[in-house]
Structure 1
Amino acid sequence: MSGRLSTHVLDISTGRPAENVVIELWKRTESKEMIKVLETKTNKDGRVDEPLLEGERMIVGSYQLLFHIGDYFNALEGESSPIFNQVPVQFEIANEAENYHIPLLIAPGGYSTYRGS
């Protein structure tokens, strides 16, 4: 049985899901090099349409999610410039059979993340 990696983005300044946030998934190789695994975008619910990793792609290792929140905030009408352009979240997948959900809560002046369920 394989786990999966998922995410979602919530804009806590509006209390709504963050739509059209570009998300990149990177994996650190054994030689410490970072390789891009995929790029996707959040839907109207602030989620991605498919798990970021699952099945045979769910591999133990070091990863980074890179959220492009500056573009999201700059696209909103009347929004002031955000202080953060991109948010990198580095994490470890220690067990490919577990589910890893990495949500991101954003506002123009800050962000927060945690391991969800």
Structure 2
Amino acid sequence: MSLSTHVLDTAKGWPASGMQVFLDHRTGEGQWQHLVADETDSDGRIAKLVPAGGLSAGVYRLTFATGEWAASVGTDSFFPEVAVVFEVTAPDEHHHVPLLLSPYGYSTYRGS
């Protein structure tokens, strides 16, 4: 499975470069296991967010450090972080989970 993300600041109309993103996997006991962290590039993207050994079917969480990023670029953020939980049922497919962000709202979807 491959996983990517893209973060856009919809209030300013630019990519959210330099944002920390964390990937976790939910274990059979319902606990979160941290897998990998990365930072968005100058285009607000992380093209490959996969730990060594890859990913399998299961429930995952992307946590975006939105508050820290907002402070670093001098903008407001009501959300100190945004967690997006999603389920992978077809591990052979590519999964793209973008985040559209503004100071007081956000949305996400499964991209391509």
Normalising to structure 1: TM-score of the pair? 0.89
Give the structure 1 partner of residue 96 of structure 2: 101
> Alignment identity in percent?
38
Alignment partner, residue 38 of structure 2: 40
Q: Please give the alpha-carbon distance, in whole angstroms, between the structure 1 residues aligned to 2:105 and 2:4.
A: 21
Per the alignment, residue 19 of structure 2 pairs with 21
Aligned CA RMSD, in angstroms, stands at: 1.5
Aligned length: 112
Residue 86 of structure 1 corresponds to which residue in structure 2? 81
Alignment partner, residue 7 of structure 1: 5
Which structure: larger Rg?
1
Q: Secondary structure at the match of 1:53?
A: coil
Does the aligned pair in 2 maintain the 1:64–1:91 contact within 8 Å? yes
Return the letter of the residue paired with 1:103.
P
Letter in structure 1 aligned against 2:34:
K
Structure 1 residue corresponding to 2:71, chosen from 65, 69, 74: 74
Residue 83 of structure 1 aligns with an amino acid whose one-letter code is F
- Alignment check: 8 A CA contact 2:58 2:87 kept: yes
Distance 2:22 2:104 in 1: 21
- For the 8 Å contact 2:20–2:38, the answer to whether it is kept is yes
Deviations 1:15-58 (A, max 9, x none): 1110111000000011111110011110100012x411289412
Question: Structure 1 residues 32 and 20 mapped into 2: Cα distance closer, same or farther (>3 Å)?
Answer: same
